[in-house]
Chain A
């Protein structure tokens, strides 16, 4: 459906309207998803905004976002569909004495009413193509990955009691991975690939401005520089973009708009960025002062 395609140049602008500041490469990759009808695999460290990409993409296309969080032990049943067993049992019991024929009971309890849609089935049964986010696919088992691969190439699902459900529309699929496990080559090859890094200072400042419209431009830059400096320290947990936003909001709430002005407050509020005791002790007031001095 070429009419639905958004011209390439407009993608970045439309993303920006939704509050997501994307670089060119990501915008290109998102455009290619539509052009080549391939899923997009996004890798990157925790906190770089992988999930946000899918949310922003859904906003851009005005589509529904269907999210499937992967976890260890996730099986096809909980990803595709499940029968509502409780209701089925009740229906059987309730009709036991009614003289209804077994055939009609059977066709009744295996009808739409008793089918529980899980994300993957839901994603292919929508009128308007949704954005399907398969989050942290590396947490699922290898078997599930193979199953997913099959689904992503055929977009149809067979339910034995029910028949084959073919996709009404092909969803836009975004997969994310944290790299806790190597993904199979087959899955990687099926997908377009984008590696999302922590944003550079300018882009992070732009994100701050987009998400916190009230923020002073030079202060946003200061915050972005400070966080970039912190990320270079050897921390156990590198602060993500969400943490940057939290911290900027905290500072704004306390009326700070210059990092050099209130060193104690700046240091105290770092707890929005540093989430382990070890990191907290490592970044002493002196380190804070040094980083803030460089950022200002």
Chain B
């Protein structure tokens, strides 16, 4: 490669185009200006050595941590994999298709959610959801039974759940706006606004304006236990979560059984049927023992810092039957408690007559829970609204 040349030859141009296509297939978002800059990089002395070129293109094309970490492998495969003839062909022969498919993950590289990145061809009726759904689903080994949430796809229950979540969202929005408007008092005088007001008084600052902090909107982080013991409730809860994430701009959802899976991308799907389809695939770990402590640990380590803040409410939907050690669960609950505003634990069993939270896991978790409430029917879910509004 004669790197000092000012303009790229057509061959190089094609290879670069092929490489950007490979990256796009792998989920990178690359615009025209990046491609233009890449051409400049290749024309620069950096391209004299592959190491330099790799580092340079990495800084240019990667835009988050996940992309940054996976760039090297893609680069190696495309540029160093000998036996590649020319640009466009390289995409399929090498990079390509296969590799890209394997790397495909949800938006913002949420592929690192702890699930095995395994392509499953045998998933029926999944063509529409493309690689994403499949990639992020559990592998076939994890569960023999494939439980179908779609069985309850339509019906009055779903409508009610949607309506409920909307009502919740409305209540929250009203609150937030009220807070922003009340600016007659505050901690600091807003000089800019006060002067603006003084124009009406002939330049005398009579009406003082104050500044008040804008409130962060409430963020809801839902953790749904999809283990065998929760089987009966999971369909209803997923529907509730779906509606919740449609109504709240700041909602995140996770499923856990033996592992933790981030399911927000499935829930943000506009098409309701498809969202539930994808979700049902993800919940296929059902049947194994629940390891709530381990899943919470995973959450705290990989997602907690990013997601939780002083206006975050964590909702855990679980019956508290945990096959892990209670000490671990307690420690993780403690860590979780420190990061968020409230933890609500919604236990579907609580609604049953004569229930006492005797499950070991439940016992361990209770001291850190702010709200321990039943969640066996829509009514009990609706009661949540009153609680959330108070936050």
Q: How far is the CA of A88 from the CA of B195 in the complex (A)?
A: 10
Please determine whether A185 and B29 come into contact, CB atoms closer than 8 angstroms. Answer: yes
Total number of B residues with any Cβ neighbor in A under 8 Å:
37
Partner-contacting stretch, out of A53-61, A175-183, A255-263 = A175-183
Please determine whether A236 and B55 come into contact, CB atoms closer than 8 angstroms. Answer: no
Q: How far is the CA of A86 from the CA of B37 in the complex (A)?
A: 47
List 30 A–B pairs whose Cβ atoms lie within 8 Å, in order of A's numbering: A8-B52, A25-B55, A28-B55, A29-B59, A31-B46, A32-B41, A32-B46, A32-B56, A35-B44, A36-B60, A72-B216, A73-B213, A73-B214, A77-B192, A86-B191, A88-B195, A141-B214, A179-B65, A179-B305, A181-B306, A185-B29, A188-B63, A189-B29, A189-B31, A193-B60, A193-B63, A193-B64, A194-B59, A195-B62, A195-B68
B203 CB contact (under 8 Å) in A32, A92, A191: A92
Q: How far is the CA of A35 from the CA of B43 in the complex (A)?
A: 11
Q: Which residue of A lies closest to B45 (CB)?
A: A8
With A36-B41, A182-B108 already in contact, the answer to whether A24 and B306 are too (CB < 8 A) is no
Q: How far is the CA of A28 from the CA of B65 in the complex (A)?
A: 17
Known contacts A28-B56, A180-B306, A192-B60; 7 additional CB pairs below 8 A are: A25-B58, A88-B195, A141-B214, A179-B65, A180-B305, A185-B29, A189-B63
Interface magnitude class on chain A: 35 or more
Q: How far is the CB of A86 from the nearest CB of chain B, in Å?
A: 8
Chain B interface, >50% SS class: helix
B273: interface (CB < 8 Å): no
B335: interface (CB < 8 Å): yes
Please determine whether A185 and B41 come into contact, CB atoms closer than 8 angstroms. Answer: no
B37 CB contact (under 8 Å) in A36, A82, A180: A36
User: Which residues 225-263 of A sit at the B interface, judged by CB distance below 8 A?
Assistant: 236
Q: How far is the CB of B219 from the nearest CB of chain A, in Å?
A: 10
B228: interface (CB < 8 Å): no
Q: B-side interface residues toward A, CB under 8 Å? A: 29, 31, 33-34, 37, 40-41, 44-46, 51-52, 55-56, 58-60, 62-65, 67-69, 108, 191-192, 195, 203, 205, 213-214, 216, 305-306, 309, 335
Q: How far is the CB of A160 from the nearest CB of chain B, in Å?
A: 12
A14: interface (CB < 8 Å): no
Which chain A positions have C-beta within 8 A of B60? 32, 36, 192-193
Q: A-side interface residues toward B, CB under 8 Å? A: 8, 24-25, 28-29, 31-32, 35-36, 38, 40-41, 43, 72-73, 77, 82-83, 85-86, 88-89, 92, 141, 179-182, 185, 188-189, 191-195, 236
